[in-house]
Amino acid sequence: MGKLFGTNGIRGIFSEDLTLEFISDIISSIATHFKKGSILVGYDGRDSSPLIAKVVCSTLNYCGLDCKLAGLVPTPALEYATKALGYSGGIMITASHNPLQYSRKDELIIEDIYFNKKWIKNPKKFGKTQTESRVIRTYLDGIKSKINASKIKSKKLKVALDLGNGAQAVAAPNLCKELGCTVFLINEKIDGKFPGRGS
């Protein structure tokens, strides 16, 4: 039996390894494993990510699971918000290095469902997709709850951020500003082609 999950989730080139059919089948397997929603879905700034997110959400709904689309968010923000906001699980569409989303045991179960096509069939009702707008705020508040914000503010720091045209552009500058920092941005425009530097 082949192995789908590597050290950082399932990887491949969109439209070659990661076809729409494969994405639908693996999400059906994940939905079968989760059994219930709501599932939080987010994505990075790559050009293909919004399209993949539509397939992910539609497949979850077809399997009877509700999901909420966070949109473009950093991977750690989605991971943190999934737990903090009480979701049954989270799916992050990204090519960046990310923490393990499932335990190795869960991965083996999902792979078994995938290879044996033991998906949810004919759910009693289809799921719904809604939006989730609290992810970034939850993430920033979570970070600030772990640090001495007033001490940082008192230092009146000047901070340069090279955001690498990535998803942290929607979070990191705001965090620094909320901590009273003067912020200088480099490569802050989100662009899936990463024109500023390598991702």
R_g of the chain, CA atoms, integer Å:
18
CA-to-CA distance for 46 and 100, rounded, in angstroms? 20
Provide the pLDDT confidence category of residue 111 given band limits of 50, 70 and 90.
confident
Residue 92 identity: M
Active site residue 24: no
Listed residue (94, 106, 96, 79) closest to 5, CA to CA: 106
Sign, CA dihedral 109-106-10-83, equals positive
Say if residue 1's pLDDT is above 50. Answer: no
pLDDT, tens digit, for every residue of 120-173? 887 888 999 999 999 999 999 999 999 999 999 999 999 999 999 989 999 999
What's the CA angle centered on 92, arms 122 and 128, to 5 degrees? 35
Question: One of 48, 58, 88, 96 is an active-site residue; which one?
Answer: 96
Report pLDDT for 98. 40
Q: Per the confidence metrics, is the pTM higher than 0.75? A: yes
Share of the chain above pLDDT 90, in %: 59
CA-to-CA distance for 116 and 51, rounded, in angstroms? 26
**Among 8-12, 42-46, 77-81, 158-162, which stretch is predicted with the lowest mean pLDDT?**
8-12
All structural domains of the chain, each given as residue ranges with its CATH number in brackets, are 20-135 (3.40.120.10), 148-186 (no CATH)
